Amino acid sequence: MRSAVATDSLLKQRLAHPTGATDVARVTLGDAVLDAVLGGGIERAALHECFARDPDQSAAVTGFVALIARRACVGGQAVVRVSEDKGDRRGGNLYGAGLAELGVDPADMVAVHAPDAMAALRASADIVKCSGVGAVVLELWGRAPLYDLTASRRLTMAAARSGVVMLVVRIDAAPRASAARTRWSAASAPSRALAANAPGYPAFDVELLRHRGGVADLKARLEWNRDTGSFASLPGGVPAVAVVGTDQSRRAARCASQRSTGRRRRSALHPD
């Protein structure tokens, strides 16, 4: 993973000559049923928030969002992560070898270290305007009062114009009014053992706290497959309900419910 201080010229070069700009409207998670419930995935040219349920889950939520950002990138696009010094001191920085183990090329991650929340917000607002970036991840710790409804609207409008995914990670903070298209929480989950009881893939318990498209009551346990670069649902999640949506989203919700029921039946027929 490159430091922004050491690679300022490289970042400018990549932004000036984008290699993978895309007009794909949504970023899929990789699980067909979950993506269908979400209307085809999360919107690309929009702002999305993800909260850590407690500070001890900062690594889990940072990893989960980094993987979504990775799926948003095409054709060599970079992910730019903007963090403030306070957060770096408390939660540490991304570890290149760890990213590689997840199937994320550290060379495609650009780190911007800001002295405070104001500088981090300003940097994010500038970077998300650049269509050559695949995703911008802004990580804020604590209340971060400067990240208010107005600030989130600025980021949202910039993302809408550029088509870049804007992902905001909130750690040790409570949700409040914002322009986020979706709001999630994430935490680490037990992995599913592989053959011969080998350690399984990384797993996350995620909950959709808000969705402007009308999806509600979505809780899922997802595992990340580094070989396919995608998420897959594990047993234990709660099917989503499309409160206000199209016939397609309602069919997807019914499909999710049937799939969950089928898993329970298979588990009863083939107990461990």
Residues (pLDDT < 70) of the chain are: 1-24, 236-272
pLDDT at 74: 85
pLDDT of residue 269: 41
Specify the pLDDT at position 20.
Answer: 44
Q: What is the pLDDT of residue 215?
A: 85
pLDDT digits (tens, 9 = 90+) for 42-74: 999 999 999 997 899 999 999 999 999 999 998
The full DSSP string for 107-122 is: GGEEEEEESSHHHHHH
pLDDT at 8: 53
Tell me, what's the pLDDT at 199? Answer: 87
The per-residue pLDDT of the chain, averaged, comes to: 84
The pLDDT of residue 75 is 82
Location of structure tokens 């889950």? 57
Identify the pLDDT of residue 266.
Answer: 44
The pLDDT > 90 percentage for the chain reads 67
